[in-house]
Structure 1
Amino acid sequence: MAEQSQTLAFGNIRGHGTSDEGSFKTNSELFGWKNKKTGVVTQHKKAEIQRVTLTRTGREYSLCVYLRKVGADGALEGEEYSELYEGFQEKDADALQKQFQNVYGKPCEKRRMATKGWHWGEWELTGKNLAFMVDGRTGFQLSMGNVRETLNPSRNELALLLKQSGKAELDKDQLVELRFFAPNKGELTEEEKEARDQQREERREKKRKEREARKESGEEVEDEEEEEEEEEEEEGGGTSIELLQEALGDVVEDPQQGEAGQAIAVLPDAHFLVPRGRYELQFFKTFVRAHGKTFVYNIFYKNITRMLLLEKPDGVHNSLVISLEQPIAGSHASNTRHKHLVCQFETNKEVELDLKMDEEALSKHANLERNMQGNPARIVVDLLNAMTGKSVTVSGEFSSVKNTRALRCSIKADEGHLYPLNKSLIFIHKPVIYVKYDDVLSIELSPPTQRFFEMTVRCKGGTEHEFQSIEKDELGGLMEFLKKRGVKVKGGEQEDRRAGRGAQPTFNQQELDDEDDEDDEDFEDEDDDFESDDDDDEEEDDSEEEEEEERPKKKPKKEKKEKKSKDKKSKKKDKKKKSKKD
């Protein structure tokens, strides 16, 4: 069939496996996609197209184009890779089939997605496109360009951590992690062994070419690389997960080997309270990696919103709190996400770290030196301050009756410490609660019991935090500190007075001595005298004396009770006399 120079355009198409929408266009010479959000345009020539598939996914179709680069001499170069475009309607499917068949000379094969609901199958890796096949049909496809890192939570698991584009929207969910699991079994099948050998052979061939290119450029090549290849050839076995990780290792860029480069500094032992465990802190140019025995967390500097260095009441430890804009996933078993990380350091410990930075980069940061010595908390704070450009908040001016910066309290059954800072409150460590004073509607202090009182923080939006079991002696100092910060405090002085602290009652001791002890118990209006403020005590004393002279005296309760009892007795006698007469 003759070639047709027809141009097709489709809108609201998601390209390159991302959620960004754009426009997809084809003509007689090339096809391309323009990202509506960023304005970036990607185009591919007709000669690069190897094969095309069109897959129905629910009510939409996805177009997968398999490509190879074309050299200056017209020869194909490199490995085959794929580009995925999603969001085509059913009416667009026929037009796309005709366009690729008639214009590009490539048949567009229609496929159907797997609908059996199975969660087990086989994987296929074509270039940088990973497909999960269920009974010969595609379960899902994933572009390796969207994978940030691969991890091994266990020997039989492989976790793919996905990149997140921009800020997470509140009304939309984002896929951040994908896990594969392979059960324990015996030896690999012949097909799996062939696939393993083929992968290793391709990897060795790739390394040979890289080594030859380096030799041609005059670069010295060590013989250790050849020895490592011989060791790989002698290795046998390997689970399905290990084979998949080996295959993905060539197409997923490791942040440690990518733009991040070599680790700037390494702190071998850091004790984390959230997430709990001991981790090795590795500082890179764009992120800090917390490497533990089971889990590995990459904390990107641009994701850090604030840092707080807090003194613990024991005087032996300091706590470093790192708040994140986007939470990181916790353990797979607990299914938790951490928005605040808490690391604990000893105050009397000292370490020494050598920074691997060039002189130009080192000169930009006044608080960094080639050889860092001192307390590990201070070194970590200096490194994070230099990498993020954010200042570190320290404990505020608040001081408890025990001369500490925090109050011991609890939230439900979880005990911890509450830090009243100059602009916020923070409770650590489980759960970590951070509240700015600007977001507080009011703070209510409950009447204290014999030993403790409670504090309820009501925030904008309806959120409430109730801190329990705060020692009674801290009530006055805490209330005064919060009022100085402009926080609306309810309860305050009245409850403080009932607890036996603060201002004295409005009546003086001489009046108490003049009155009868029995009268003190009989009168009902005595408690009204406790409703005045401290500054108005003397004025109210005078007003009360004048009111007592004007108003008539009330009869005591005892006289009223005696009259009532006499009336009842007389009534009973009258009833008995009437019954006798009858």
Structure 2
Amino acid sequence: MLDAGTLSYDQVYLQSLTAKSAGKLKLAQGGLGWKESSTAQVTTLASADFSSIAWFRAMRGYELRIYLKDGSVHKFDGLPAEALEELKDFVKEHYQVPFETKELSVKGWNWGKAEIDGNHLEFKVGDRMAFDLPLKEVTNAVVTIKDEIAIEFSQPENVDKKTDTLVEMRLYVPGNESDSAEEGDEGLDAAKSLCEKIKGFSEMNQVTGEVIVSLPELPCIVPRGRFQMDMTPSYLRLHGKSYDHKILYSSIVKLFLLPKADEMHVLFVLALDPPIRQGQTRYPFLVFQFNKDEEIEVALQNIDEETIKSKYEGKLQMQYDAPTFEVVSTLFRLLAGQKIIVPGSFRSQGNGNSIKCAFKANEGFLYPLERNILFLPKPVTLIPNGEISHVEFARMGSGSGNPRSFDLKFYLKSGQDVSFSNIAKEEYQFLEDFLKQKNIDFRSKDEDEGRRKKVTKEFSDSEDEAAVKRMRMNGDDESSPDEDYDDGGDESSVGEEYDEDFNSDEDSNEEEGSESEAASEADDTATEED
């Protein structure tokens, strides 16, 4: 619609991977503006920044594409066919930049050529573009196997989980870059070269002014590797050897800080929804392992004292010099705004916070917490107490008359069950007391009550009878089962509950399962508390 030197169109979409609502597009001599109908958010572009303009056939009608001098591209979809001629005349009169009418490839071929054009990746069939992707939406790009690139995309916030979104795309790029190859040189691997270009043009390798703190080389055991962590006010970015991940703080469901049974390490666990992906494997949990005595010194950047007082209630410090696990957990608690769950009142036969057991073929430790049952390290298995229907003790009397271990099976209200095996017989009474305290129904698989009493008696008559009674008495006297870590505002010291948590005499000889098997099983078994 032409109106006194301006053009305006209704029901026009500012195109992106998550475009949902239309708005009004208005062109004037100084540039153009688009106002979203639902939020009244305004986007403006100055005509002095235009380098060229193109007209395409699109899914909602026609698309006006604005190319800027900095290489970025803005697309407006939903324009009527009759707008073409008046737009041509308007651009020629007021913007003095090239205006092209381009045709898209509609052959339907899935082979062609992928090229970087500005901040977009274009896939061309012949000399026509089939589709393009905004590189600013790319969160990770990696060569998974020979000649294949996996490109992962960021997911929108505050969107219905039933909505379909583009998560990943794979491109097969065979051969070498012959253009750059000299005589006698085979040239660069084409897939690796394109992958590096995508990383360079996307925001993955861009260090922006948003980063508040960088933590180098954090050891991670799920998934295995070392990651540099950059933390911003709204998200964190993990940089690994092969994979990079952007994680919104709003995606962090729970945080756990738990002592390992060897009394030398601390496990820091992030529960994520949605999970991160590495190839075909999803990881709903990240598990970092820190040496209890290792310290780190970091300084905050791109933040001032006034922001710390107004946004973080003065709890952030400009400088940290403390044990690594304490610094990392404190930063997560304040920046992500999540409470940190630590061990509660449960104590094992060895006065630890966990019991040694096996989940399928993987040995690990079971942490009975105040509101959850958590198995670590791999595969991470979280069972909220509220989702447990009942618990069954199994293999109580199998084999010899004095069994050395038993199994524990959790039946969930969803109909699923999760089993843990090879639990030392000395832990039986402590688990029973814990289940009673949490009002969780439990039973023995052996329906003969007399045999159950006999097995219980065998446990109590063992050489550890005095220790069992003493631990049970200590558990009953526990008066501070609080599982939320709060250092009381002192960011440079650890609360007393940590000193208790590391007082563990359990066996530390732990075997770790294979990472690929653990990761695939994590999706099947992990559940999250609402």
Q: Which moved more, 1:291-300 or 1:433-442?
A: 291-300
Contact 1:445 1:489 in 2 (8 A): yes
Q: Which residue of 2 aligns with 1:42?
A: 43
| 2:161 equivalent among 145, 170, 180 | 170
C-alpha distance after superposition, 1:418-472 (max 9, x if no partner): 2110111111222212122223333333462333443332334434323333334
Q: How far off its partner does 1:46 sit?
A: 8.6
Contact 2:104 2:130 in 1 (8 A): no
Q: Which moved more, 1:443-452 or 1:391-400?
A: 443-452
Q: Which residue of 2 aligns with 1:18?
A: 17
Q: Which amino acid aligns with 2:133?
A: L
Secondary structure of 2:330's match?
helix
| 1:341 equivalent among 286, 290, 293 | 286
Q: Which moved more, 1:379-388 or 1:179-188?
A: 179-188
Secondary structure of 1:404's match?
coil
| 1:415 equivalent among 342, 345, 363 | 363
Q: Which residue of 1 aligns with 2:377?
A: 429
Taking structure 1 as reference, are residues 407 and 62 closer, same or farther at Cα in structure 2, changes over 3 Å only?
A: farther
In structure 2, what is the Cα distance between the partners aligned to 1:157 and 1:243? 12
In structure 1, what is the Cα distance between the partners aligned to 2:229 and 2:134? 30
Taking structure 1 as reference, are residues 482 and 168 closer, same or farther at Cα in structure 2, changes over 3 Å only?
A: farther
CA RMSD of aligned residues (A): 4.2
In structure 2, what is the Cα distance between the partners aligned to 1:317 and 1:102? 70
Q: Does 1:370 pair with 2:372? A: no
**Structure with greater strand percent:** 2
Q: Which residue of 1 aligns with 2:433?
A: 480
In structure 2, what is the Cα distance between the partners aligned to 1:14 and 1:453? 62
Q: Which residue of 2 aligns with 1:275?
A: 223
Q: Which amino acid aligns with 2:17?
A: T
Q: Residues 511-526 of structure 1 correspond to what in structure 2 (within 5 A)?
A: none
Structure 2: segments with no counterpart, 5+ residues: 93-97, 459-530
Q: Which residue of 1 aligns with 2:66?
A: 66
Taking structure 1 as reference, are residues 96 and 242 closer, same or farther at Cα in structure 2, changes over 3 Å only?
A: farther
In structure 2, what is the Cα distance between the partners aligned to 1:39 and 1:111? 33
Q: Which residue of 1 aligns with 2:124?
A: 133
Q: How far off its partner does 1:146 sit?
A: 2.8
Taking structure 1 as reference, are residues 392 and 38 closer, same or farther at Cα in structure 2, changes over 3 Å only?
A: same
Q: Does 1:323 pair with 2:271? A: yes
Q: Which amino acid aligns with 1:121?
A: K
Q: Does 1:122 pair with 2:114? A: yes
Secondary structure of 1:340's match?
strand
Contact 1:149 1:253 in 2 (8 A): no
C-alpha distance after superposition, 1:135-188 (max 9, x if no partner): 223221122343456667799676654332214533234323445554342642
Q: Which amino acid aligns with 2:55?
A: T
Bigger radius of gyration among the two: 1
Taking structure 1 as reference, are residues 455 and 133 closer, same or farther at Cα in structure 2, changes over 3 Å only?
A: same
Secondary structure of 2:273's match?
strand
Contact 2:349 2:427 in 1 (8 A): yes
TM-score, normalising length: structure 1: 0.63
Q: Which amino acid aligns with 2:263?
A: G
| 1:95 equivalent among 82, 85, 93 | 82
Contact 1:322 1:340 in 2 (8 A): yes
Taking structure 1 as reference, are residues 352 and 83 closer, same or farther at Cα in structure 2, changes over 3 Å only?
A: closer
Q: Does 1:260 pair with 2:259? A: no
| 1:350 equivalent among 294, 297, 322 | 294
Q: Which residue of 2 aligns with 1:456?
A: 409
Q: Does 1:52 pair with 2:1? A: no
Q: Does 1:84 pair with 2:75? A: yes
Q: Which moved more, 1:40-49 or 1:454-463?
A: 40-49
Contact 1:113 1:138 in 2 (8 A): yes
Q: Which residue of 2 aligns with 1:111?
A: 103
Query: Equivalent pairs: percent with the same residue?
Result: 22
In structure 1, what is the Cα distance between the partners aligned to 2:157 and 2:285? 20
Q: How far off its partner does 1:370 sit?
A: 2.5
C-alpha distance after superposition, 1:208-252 (max 9, x if no partner): xxxxxxxxxxxxxxxxxxxxxxxxxxxxx7665676567667754
In structure 2, what is the Cα distance between the partners aligned to 1:20 and 1:272? 36
In structure 1, what is the Cα distance between the partners aligned to 2:246 and 2:193? 24
Q: Which amino acid aligns with 1:354?
A: V
Q: Which amino acid aligns with 2:352?
A: T
Secondary structure of 1:188's match?
helix
In structure 2, what is the Cα distance between the partners aligned to 1:381 and 1:251? 32
In structure 2, what is the Cα distance between the partners aligned to 1:362 and 1:82? 36
Q: How far off its partner does 1:10 sit?
A: 5.3
Contact 2:10 2:25 in 1 (8 A): no
In structure 2, what is the Cα distance between the partners aligned to 1:496 and 1:317? 42
Secondary structure of 2:326's match?
helix
**Structure with greater helix percent:** 1
Q: How far off its partner does 1:27 sit?
A: 6.6
Contact 1:456 1:465 in 2 (8 A): yes
Q: Which amino acid aligns with 1:141?
A: D
Secondary structure of 2:103's match?
strand
Q: Which amino acid aligns with 2:114?
A: E
In structure 2, what is the Cα distance between the partners aligned to 1:99 and 1:449? 87
Taking structure 1 as reference, are residues 248 and 413 closer, same or farther at Cα in structure 2, changes over 3 Å only?
A: closer
Contact 1:342 1:429 in 2 (8 A): yes
In structure 2, what is the Cα distance between the partners aligned to 1:110 and 1:4? 29
Q: How far off its partner does 1:103 sit?
A: 6.1
Structure 1: segments with no counterpart, 5+ residues: 69-77, 193-236, 505-582
Taking structure 1 as reference, are residues 25 and 387 closer, same or farther at Cα in structure 2, changes over 3 Å only?
A: closer
